[in-house]
Chain A
Amino acid sequence: MLEVAVIGCGMTPFGEHYGKSLRNLVEDAYLSTIRSVDKGIDPKDIQAVWYGTLASSWASFPIPDFVGLSQLPVSRLENACATGSDAFRNACFSVMAGIYDVVLVIGAEKMNDEPCSSLWNYQAMENWNIGRSMPGVFALRATRHMHEFGTKREQLAMVSVKNHHNGALNPRAHFRFETTVEKALKSRMIAYPLGLLDCCPMTDGAAAAIICRADIAKKYTDASVQVVGLGLATDTSYGTMTDEQLVGFPTTTKAAKEAFQMAKLEPKDVDVVELHDCFTITELVSYEDLGFCKKGEGGKFVEEGRASLGGETPVNPSGGLLAKGHPTGATGVAQIVEVFEQVRGQSGKRQVADAEIGLTHNLGVAPEGSVGLVTILRRGT
């Protein structure tokens, strides 16, 4: 198996881009990625593309046109909200297998063009529609976590406060305001116990990355970032939901285990984390599921500042999905972008001091099942 390096990353600012089409967003992300390659890259070096979008375009058709590379092999990938990082993962496999040397990954979503309200239309394939919203699906976990472990709404609010603080430092974040525990607790109730500030926004955006065989990375940059761990797990549980699935996402645990094994690393080795905080409860249970603390201790973990910038494991320095935004197909790729820049020391005011190893966690959830994906990146040597 060949080693893989990331040599360039870029993204659009995330936000409500009513004036921009999917094409405009993909072009911007692609161009910023090409321009991020330290020693430059000829676009003709790109041999294949993996394109992740949940619902913004049909198949792979727009990509060759958008990036001006006709006849390239483009694979479109969709895997719920873990779409972007699964596109990245499959692109990595193609390089590991020795099929391609240089591959482009694009994730994009034009959420605000979609014919839906702010609560995405989600209906489980094999279950009757009972009007569940995505906030409702996650809120069911929050209520149970509070009941079982004494987790408090204040602790959920602290996740929001932390991520909005970080987002305010990130020029590419959708929301750039600070908030307080009090404001979060008083925000409009969406699905008890989740208020408005416990929820991520509807965001447009695109992100991209260029990966290559690690042994040729020096041609493009002296500061490449190695892909050292990849893990994916999926479960469904129509009517057979386990106790673990009520208070967390076992797919995260499984994916993390796989990624850590591949990387020969442990949670304590990780310097910076970008995880899937679509709702505050998701971040809180993911501390536990990823192994940064024990099951049930997520509330304490955030309350003690261990996930804050300057804490032992800074989580979501970008502002996460809560503040940076969650354009579904772009989200996982944007997490890679943040970690790539963090381990290269390019993150400005939100830089995690001397970050060398970073982890991304992308999660897709249906009412009764989930897709967990973990990627571990390490500063190249």
Chain B
Amino acid sequence: MSDPFVWRELRDEYQLVAQRCSSCGVVIYPMKHKICPKCGKIQEETKEIKLNPHGKIVTYTVQYVPGPGAKEFGPPMILVICDLDDGGRINGILTDCAPDSVKIGMRVKLELRSLYTSNGLDVYSHKFTPIKE
């Protein structure tokens, strides 16, 4: 991935800034849109929101063969799709969790973590971690 891409997306990624469609209310993340990808309504003004980082897992997989990209994505790696409590269905990595203990419905929280290093640039992003209850 190019470094300008990382720079361009920095605020969304680090501060969990998202957008709520002024018409259908869907949470759009990442990226700002002038058109809602779900209902197609043109957004006259951007309705920025902060994501609530708490949510629960709706599905997961454990990759035992590494996917493409950085060596930091070594196996086993747990990938999840999560529904956040105040809206937003987010794809991400689940960390601090044993592969055999991940479950659908499990409570998780987004935390800022190191993702990988690119051309000497440390790239951070949010990863999901289990909430100890």
Contact = CB atoms under 8 A, between A and B. Distances in A.
A129 B65 contact: no
A237 B1 CA distance: 21
Contacts of B69: 121, 123, 129, 131
A240 B104 contact: no
Nearest to B126: A128
B75 to A, nearest CB: 9
A136 B81 CA distance: 12
Contacts of B65: 119, 133, 135, 190-191
B59 A133 contact: no
Given A239-B30, A239-B90, A241-B81, A131 B67 contact: yes
Contacts of A123: 1, 68-69
Given A121-B68, A123-B1, A128-B115, A239 B29 contact: yes
A135 to B, nearest CB: 7
B70 A129 contact: yes
A178 interface: no
B64 A144 contact: no
Contacts of A241: 81, 89
Interface residues of B, number: 41
Contacts of B112: none
Nearest to B18: A239
Given A239-B88, A368-B91, A140 B61 contact: yes
A129 B65 CA distance: 16
A127 interface: yes
A273 B44 CA distance: 46
Contacts of B92: 130
B10 to A, nearest CB: 11
A116 B62 CA distance: 21
A200 to B, nearest CB: 14
B91 to A, nearest CB: 7
Nearest to A188: B64
A132 B20 CA distance: 26
A61 interface: no
B68 A140 contact: no
Contacts of B93: 130-131
Q: Give the residue among A116, A133, A194, A237 with the most B Cβ atoms within 10 A.
A: A133
A201 B120 CA distance: 35
A128 B68 contact: no
B38 interface: yes
Interface string B90-127: 11110000010000100000000001000000000100
Nearest to B19: A239
B59 A143 contact: yes
Interface in B1-38: 1, 6, 9, 13, 18, 26-31, 37-38
B76 to A, nearest CB: 9
Contacts of A127: 30, 91
Q: Give the residue among A121, A128, A136, A194 with the most B Cβ atoms within 10 A.
A: A128
Q: Give the residue among A131, A136, A194 with the most B Cβ atoms within 10 A.
A: A131
B43 interface: no
Interface string B47-88: 000000000001111111111111011000101010000001
A133 B28 contact: no
A147 B61 CA distance: 12
Interface of A: 116-117, 119-123, 126-133, 135-136, 139-144, 147, 188-194, 236-241, 246, 367-368
8 contacts: A119-B67, A131-B67, A131-B77, A144-B59, A192-B62, A194-B61, A237-B37, A240-B26
Given A117-B68, A129-B70, A241-B89, 10 more contacts: A131-B66, A139-B63, A144-B104, A190-B63, A191-B63, A238-B30, A239-B89, A240-B27, A240-B28, A368-B91
